[in-house]
A and B are shown apart, each in its own frame.
Chain A
Amino acid sequence: MIARRKTMRQIVLLKDIPDLTEIKVDSETRAPRVEGVKRRISDLDKRALEAAIRLKEAVGGEILALSMGDDKTRTAMLEALAMGADAAYVVDDPGFRGLDTNATSIVLEAAIRKIGGYDLIVSGEMTLDSLSSQVGPRLAELLDLPQLTYVKAVSAGGGKVKAVRDLEDADEVAEAALPALITVVREINEPRIPSLMNIMKAKRKPQSVWTAQDLGLDPAGVQAMSHVKVLGVTAPKVERKQIRLEADTVGEAAAKLVEHLVGEGVIR
């Protein structure tokens, strides 16, 4: 047995996404207006970071936040540093805009290999803008790591990670030797709100920005591996009846509702 070092080096994958509550829909085109909407770290990714912080509190080590984005992403990373990440890395290259999950994973793989020496990679089960759930498992494949997805409780020790996975029909308790990758679900924790002092301190923590060249990647080659093309995005028009049942008494309103539901054939 090779003795493992006691502390854990974790890489947390973070994505800053448009604040979903502030996205308005163009009434003409039904397209969402994302431009200019403030970006925040995806909620599930914050929970991934919180999980990493709690693991660090238990077993020690360091937490490195990794993201791909632009100059605004560096601002978003300050929140991660304030919460408890020790350093942040942002991959920012104009040649990397609009990549699909295949190409994104290839870029992040290069960044993770450059960081090196990790024990655990932690990410959200999906990002809430693209809802793709792909980057975690893709990175596990590219980096040849065991993956534990849909994790709602996690612990680490003795060179292993142990997790409770939330599957449809069962909670599965499973473990894997480190290094490994986990993706977390919402139930895992409530992310902390950083104190004012930690927000101030975050500005002094190290942030690195890496370009394609830093990662030894050719942007054109990466773009060629981006296969998924978005043809259009629209907000579906709500075509519900929107009938408000009003009556003098609640009993009458309830009776009217029952009558409608029978008429719709949804109750007998």
Chain B
Amino acid sequence: MKFLVYSEDPEVGAQLTGRARALADQTGGEVIALTTGEPALCFKYGADRVVKVDGLGEFAVEPYKAAAVQAVEAVNPDVVLIGATRRGKELAPRLAAALKVGSMTECTSVDVVDGRVVVERLTYGGSTIARETCTSSPTVLSVPPRTYEKPEASDRAGEVMELKVIAPEPRVKVLERRSKPKASADLESASIIVSAGRGFKAKEDLRLLKELAEALGAQMGCTRPISADLGWMDQWVGISGKKVKPSLYVACGISGTIQHVAGIRDSQIIVSVNSDESAGIHGISDYSIVGDVYVVLPALVKALRGRA
């Protein structure tokens, strides 16, 4: 099977190139990377060939879609893998529509079974996993960052094809870009996260969470209401917010809605602190303490500090 890989984020590009490499080896196929950057990086993580495009400038969906359409026409892949960043998720369906082919969004696994591509993805607000396949060629898939590990570097080398792209000017004009604070942007790669829900009664009380975060060396997250409704924190964890996969996730005063749980499912260990004995969060936790965050969190901080 022939794979064409693209992400505007080189890290994600490397992860997807690695996955495509494994599937190409399994099926006796080929991996072609589409890049506006350094072809050497694509070879390093498993590409057989690189399609290089110059002069596109900053990512904008219309010119990048035009480039991707031309790359597909040039190499005729069976599967197009695109990193499911927000930019990737606006590119993938637009590309698929231009090609009039099928596409699956945010695939949490990509395999080849009996010669056809089979993916898994979350549906119904994240409460279920669908297994899907697609009959069109190519099939366009978007795959979230960190779904697959970046592979070991190799000393592979290959042909670089320079693609002259006839790209339209973007019709969307960017007037201003306001960077987000780094800490919240890093939530998705944090190894320990402590997170606040409606068990907190006032914004000032989040200092309890902060103290726990400091004791654990953790990043802080929250549920949707804390962020979107109350505006106490920046970005929330959940299917509509950040999807996280830390080694330890401590849910503090969080009830455990479908939306939130879907965003923390890949955590290695989940701990819940909630005074409601019947809160759904306890049922999906490894360890839980039934108790008020105002009492349990200081005790936990004390226990952690006491070890040092």
Q: Which chain A residues have a beta carbon within 8 Å of chain B's beta carbons?
A: 18, 20-21, 23, 25, 32, 34, 44, 100-102, 105-106, 126, 128-142, 146-150, 162, 166-177, 180, 185-187, 225-236, 238, 240-246, 250-251, 253-255, 257-258, 260-261, 264, 266-267
Question: Does A253 lie within 8 Å of B94, measured CB to CB?
Answer: no
CB-contacts of B244-272 with A (<8 A): 247-248, 258, 265, 268-271
Within the complex, which residue of B102, B265, B303 is in contact with A257, where a contact is CB–CB below 8 Å? Answer: B303
Within the complex, which residue of A135, A174, A233 is in contact with B174, where a contact is CB–CB below 8 Å? Answer: A174
Question: Does B123 lie within 8 Å of A129, measured CB to CB?
Answer: yes
Question: Does B96 lie within 8 Å of A250, measured CB to CB?
Answer: no
Within the complex, which residue of A128, A134, A250 is in contact with B295, where a contact is CB–CB below 8 Å? Answer: A250
Q: A141-B65, A241-B286 are in contact. Are A131 and B239 (CB under 8 A)?
A: yes
Q: Tell me the interface secondary structure of chain A in the complex.
A: mixed
Question: Does B300 lie within 8 Å of A257, measured CB to CB?
Answer: yes
CB-contacts of B15-47 with A (<8 A): none
CA distance A176 to B172 in the complex (A): 5
- Residues from chain B with a CB closer than 8 A to the CB of A18 are 124
Question: Does B288 lie within 8 Å of A146, measured CB to CB?
Answer: no
Within the complex, which residue of A162, A172, A250 is in contact with B296, where a contact is CB–CB below 8 Å? Answer: A250
CB of B32, distance to nearest CB on chain A (Å): 22
- Residues from chain B with a CB closer than 8 A to the CB of A138 are 93-94, 96-97
- Residues from chain B with a CB closer than 8 A to the CB of A25 are 127-128
B146 interfacial by beta-carbon distance below 8 Å: no
Question: Does A244 lie within 8 Å of B132, measured CB to CB?
Answer: no
Q: A170-B178, A257-B271, A261-B248 are in contact. Are A229 and B100 (CB under 8 A)?
A: no
Question: Does A101 lie within 8 Å of B173, measured CB to CB?
Answer: no
Question: Does B134 lie within 8 Å of A258, measured CB to CB?
Answer: no
Q: A241-B286, A242-B286, A264-B269 are in contact. Are A134 and B87 (CB under 8 A)?
A: no
| Extra A-B contacts (20), CB below 8 Å, given A32-B127, A233-B129, A245-B287 | A18-B124, A20-B258, A101-B102, A102-B101, A102-B103, A131-B105, A134-B92, A137-B93, A138-B94, A168-B86, A169-B180, A177-B171, A229-B132, A230-B131, A231-B133, A236-B128, A244-B288, A250-B295, A254-B300, A255-B306
B223 interfacial by beta-carbon distance below 8 Å: no
B165 interfacial by beta-carbon distance below 8 Å: no
When each residue 212-230 of chain B gets 1 if its CB lies under 8 Å from chain A and 0 otherwise, what string results? 0000100000001000100
- Residues from chain A with a CB closer than 8 A to the CB of B289 are 244-245, 250, 253-254, 257
- Residues from chain B with a CB closer than 8 A to the CB of A170 are 177-180
